[in-house]
Every structure is written in structure tokens, then in C-alpha cells.
Amino acid sequence: MTDEVDDLLLHVLRVKGVATVVDLESASGLEAVGQRVEPLVQTGLVTRVGEGEQALFGLTEQGRAREAQFVEEAVPTALREPLGRVYERDFLPVNLEFKRLCADWQSQGEGFELLEQLLDVDERLQAFLSYAGGLVPRLGRYRQRLAAPLERLQDGDGDALAGPVGSSYHNVWFELHEDLIATLGRRRADEEA
């Protein structure tokens, strides 16, 4: 049987797909995750590929079922409905703008105008996360997770916006979107349609 910390780790793995212990610690805000994830491997909820710091962890089918149960129990319908409304009203429009901004960034290169646009997008996202985090506290963690790459970007690190590896702003945003989809009981394929 899992506890709340284990359930959170299963959820983070659902959102990330696969992750190292360091990735799990960063995304969850927990410490000593290695000691928590190994028993999950032993019980068949999590898979491990490789050894040591580079080992990658992912969910098994049993782990996916447990994670889905966790999300359903953690976010009752009474919270899911208002979250869904504000997700559609506030998050989805800013998500479209962020996608366009990332495409512009990649095609035009770094520029002050794009940074200003990102700051505007981030301000609106932070307002959404403030509300969403009040309904589902774990969503509030994304406010801090997005602040770090935004600060790196403002300090001149161009990879901090959409770098493919690590905690770029885009990667954390993608995880947030995946978390929202899971929390609301939706599917990414439906979101992209």
C-alpha cells in the first residue's frame, strides 16, 4: 500500500513520463526520493532502467492505475469543476500564446520584445496558478518551478526558455499542462484536437 508521499511520486512520474531521482526531487520538492522510489520498484508500481544517478524510473500499468486513483481521490468533483472552468477560461488562451511565443523565439532568435511578451504571459500564468494552487495545493509548486528558468532567461541564458533538456521554462510548462490534464481527467489527444 502506498502513502501520500508515494502517491505524489507516482503522480510526478505520470506527469514527467520518466525521471531520475534528481528530477523527481526537483519536481516534487521532496528529499531522499531514492529511498522512497526503490520500494515502489519492488512492489511493481515503478520500473527502473539503469543504475545509480542515471537510473530512469517510470510507471508500470499497476502504477498508472494507482496514480489515477490518487488523482481521483485527491481532487474531488467539487474542486475539479471550478478548476476546469478556470483552466478553459484562463490557462488555455495563455497556453496558445505561449506556444506561439516559443515558435517565434525559435524562428527569430532571442530578443527583448519576446522577453517582454514572456513576462506578460508569465504574469497571467502566475495569476492562474495562484487560483489553481488554492484548489489543488500541489499545482502551486509550479509557480516556484517556473520562476527559476525565468530568472535564468532574464540573466541571459537563452536555453532557459525552450532548452530540450532540464528544467527549461517550456519543459516545466509542459509538465504543468500534463498535470492539469491528469487532474481534470482529460486526455492530451483531446486537448490537441
Assess whether pLDDT exceeds 50 at residue 1: no
DSSP string across 59-115: E-HHHHHHHHHHHHHHS-HHHHHHHHHHIIIIIHHHHHHHHHHHHHHHHH---HHHH
CATH topology of domain 4-71: Arc Repressor Mutant, subunit A (1.10.10)
C-alpha to C-alpha distance for 19 and 31, rounded to whole angstroms: 15
Residue 39 vs residue 191, higher pLDDT: 39
pLDDT digits (tens, 9 = 90+) for 111-170: 667 888 899 999 999 999 999 999 999 999 999 999 999 999 888 887 888 887 778 999
Domain boundaries, the chain: 4-71, 75-192
State the DSSP H helix or E strand holding residue 40, giving kind and residue range, or none if neither: helix 33-42
Instruction: Report yes or no on whether pTM surpasses 0.85.
Output: yes
Assess whether pLDDT exceeds 60 at residue 97: yes
Length in residues, the chain: 193
Question: How many degrees, rounded to 5, is the angle at CA 76 between CA 74 and CA 80?
Answer: 105
